[in-house]
């Protein structure tokens, strides 16, 4: 691996972690602007939930719905800068990356794309942590 490639990989790793940090802190600190900076306009966030009939289904949110949730998510002040945010880059290429984010009470599996030298979240599959 060339020095330039290694340097680029380190820089990309830092940018990816910064993007995911902005994303989670947009919820924890009720800062939807940070969330907007970290997500692609076509981003989708999904989870598998059990419906009243006992069947599992896919529930999703668009980037617009995410911004709206970000405004009200932490109105009671439960979360802060110290809230859990363990970020692990699972895989990374020059234009795509996969990240695991362990947050306060849930886990996000995040896909990012690199657009014009900026990493953006394009997909999130999440689940509440088991107690």
Cβ atoms of residues 86 and 104 within 8 Å: no
CA–CA separation, 46 and 57 (whole Å):
10
Q: What is the pLDDT of residue 102?
A: 98
- Per-residue pLDDT tens for 11-26? 999 999 999 999 999 8
End-to-end Cα distance, the chain: 43
Q: From the centroid of its chain, how far is CA 75?
A: 20
pLDDT at position 2, please? 43
* Residue-level pLDDT at 1: 43
Cα–Cα distance, 53 to 31 (Å, whole number): 36
Which residues lie below 8 Å from residue 2, measured CB to CB, with a gap of 6+? none
State whether residue 126 is helix, strand or coil.
strand
The architecture CATH gives domain 3-128:
Roll (3.10)
Per-residue b or e along 3-32, where b marks 16 or more CB atoms closer than 10 Å to that residue's CB? eeeeeeeeebeebbbebbbbbbbbbbbbbb
Query: Rounded to an integer, what distance in angstroms lies between the CA atom of residue 100 and that of residue 8?
Result: 21
Domain boundaries defined on the chain: 3-128
Regions of the chain with pLDDT less than 70: 1-8, 70-71, 131
pLDDT score for 20: 97
- The whole-angstrom separation of Cα 4 and Cα 43 is 30
């Amino acid at each position: 691996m060339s020095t330039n490639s290694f340097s680029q990989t380190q820089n990309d790793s830092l940018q990816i972690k910064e993007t995911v940090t902005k994303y989670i802190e947009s919820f924890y600190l009720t800062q939807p602007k940070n969330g907007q900076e970290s997500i692609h306009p076509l981003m989708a966030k999904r989870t598998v939930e059990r419906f009243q009939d006992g069947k599992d289904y896919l529930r999703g949110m668009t980037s617009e719905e995410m911004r709206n949730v970000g405004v009200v998510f932490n109105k009671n002040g439960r979360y802060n800068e110290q809230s859990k945010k363990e970020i692990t880059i699972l895989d990374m290429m020059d234009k795509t990356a996969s990240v695991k984010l362990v947050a306060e009470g849930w886990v996000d599996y995040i896909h990012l794309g690199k657009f014009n030298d900026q990493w953006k979240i394009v997909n999130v599959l999440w689940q509440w942590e088991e107690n």
